Each structure stands twice: as C-alpha cells, then as structure tokens.
Amino acid sequence: MSLSASEIGAAMKDYASQNPCTWCDGCGNYGIWGATKLALVELGLKPWQVLLCYDVGCHGNGSDKTGGYRFHGLHGRVLPLSAGASLANPTVPVIAFGGDGASFSEGVGHLVHAVRSNYQMTFVLHNNANYGLTTGQASALTWQGQPMNSSPNGIPEETLNSMDFIFSLAPTFVARGFSGNIPQLTEILKAAIRHRGFAYVDVLQACPTYNKFATHEWLLEHCYDAAAEGHDPKNFEKARKLAVDTSKRVATGILYQTEEQPAFHERLKPRQGVKTTPVEEVKIVDVSGFLKKFV
C-alpha cells in the first residue's frame, strides 16, 4: 500500500505512548523502534491487529513506549510465549524482540526450536553484542579481545558465530539490518512480517554506552546492501557464506528466503481443512464435576 507522508505520520501516532524514552542518547533501539512502527504502518496494520512481544533487556523497555497489544515476558523466554500466541491465532502477525544476551544464552534452546519449527512469526534480534540493561556484561556474541564490564581482559570463551548457527537450523528467512539504516530495515521488516513461517532478522544495533567496537560509525563503514551487489536470496549456500563472512564487510538485506516450507501450524494434521483458529474454538467448560472426585 502506498501512503502519503502525512498519512504515515498520522498512522504512526496510533503507535505512540505517553511514556518517556529511557534509552541512552545515540542508542540503536531508536532506529529499530522507528523502523518497526514504519513497517507496520506501511503494511496497513493498526496496533490492535498485531502482537508485539518483548524479552528482557534495554530493547524490552520498548514495550512501554509503543501503543497496541504488547507482552513483556521473562528473560530469554520471548519465543515460546510468542509462538504460543501465534499458534492460538495464526492470522495475527506476531513480532518478538530479543537481545543477543538472552537469545544466545538463557533462551538459546527456544531459538533452536523456533527456527526448526518454522512458527508463523517474526523475530527481531537486537544485536548489540552485550548485556546493556545490566551494564555492559559480555554476551555470547561479544567480539574477541574487547574489554567488557564482566571481563576487562576480554572474554575467555570463543565468540558464537550466530549466523552459522542459525543457518545450521534450516531457516526459511534470514535477514540482517543495521539500526542506522531505517529505510532498509523497514523494508526487511515488511518482508519478514509477510513471510510464510519464522523470519529471523538480525539487527546490528549501536550501543554507544557499552559497545565500543561495533559502533554506529563502524557499522556505517562496513555494512553494505547485498541485493545491490546482485545477491540472490534463494541460494542457501551462497547466503550462508555471505552471512557468516564478516571479516571485511557486513552483508545486509534479505540474505535467504524460501516460502516452500509450510509453517508449523500448516503441518499439523488435525488443523488441516479447519476454517477456524484455535482461539475461536475456546469454550467455557464447567470442571466442578471433575473436581468433586478429589474432594
């Protein structure tokens, strides 16, 4: 759909909240927040037509700064609660937001099964390579040799190669954006929301307070649009190589997508041919008769 600038501005107000922002100046969360609202508005989605789910972290405070249906879950647990909501009503777009800390440590098991299950939802990784909310501890994605508050001499472990890990799970949609490129991120998010199945969107996010290596300036200098260089997102092996190799430059955009795999709910045999959603089939059942057995 094509909206004028004034129509977009008016629709963006639907997502406004009275709560003040508490993010640091220059935080990449602002860019991701703006791109998300813009994507929803440009898709013609009103706040009551979408569910936004937040993990714990700096980004999670976005749940207070946005209008509409929101759910703020426990640390590392945003994916199961979002998947449950999506399974209850797969017609409602569900977007889950999580940080690299929670997603690749506390919640990594959920991430594995969300990707391989191909749930009908979008996952936005706020990837600032540290635990910002708890003051700059290293995460599994912190670079080698970077002093962090929890490891002033650099991390003793290997850094997890998150893209190689995601590609090993047979994903159906993998994209990478950058919090400083809002127009590109908006287009990525629109495609992710429309995708059939689980859309994984890794957003490299500036955290000027604690991340002194992948700064906004570094990302500006190193990120490039893969589509502009002829990348074909249907080629799994090339997409994987492009996603994993960040040694000189960082490819952004939709890196891989296939819609040939059905989403999880489409593969459930008892649901095939059923016109209603599970949430429409909820009934009030009087269980007092059963309970008498235990009195």
Contact footprint for ligand SF4 (CB under 6 A): 23-24, 27, 29, 58, 128, 132, 207-210
What CA dihedral angle connects 184, 188, 190 and 196, to 10 degrees?
A: 170
Q: How far is the CB of 203 from ligand SF4 (least distance, A)?
A: 12
| Smallest gap from residue 145 Cβ to ligand SF4 (A) | 20
Return the number of the residue (90 or 101) whose C-beta is nearest ligand SF4.
Answer: 101
Minimum distance, C-beta of residue 95 to ligand SF4, in the bound complex (Å): 19
Least CB distance to ligand SF4 at residue 195 (A)? 27
Q: Which is nearer to ligand SF4, 214 or 254 (CB)?
A: 214
Q: Give the residue with the Cβ less far from ligand SF4, 28 or 197.
A: 28
| Smaller CB separation from ligand SF4, 181 or 205 | 205
CB of 132 to ligand SF4, least distance (A): 3
Looking at beta carbons only, is 207 or 214 nearer to ligand SF4?
Answer: 207
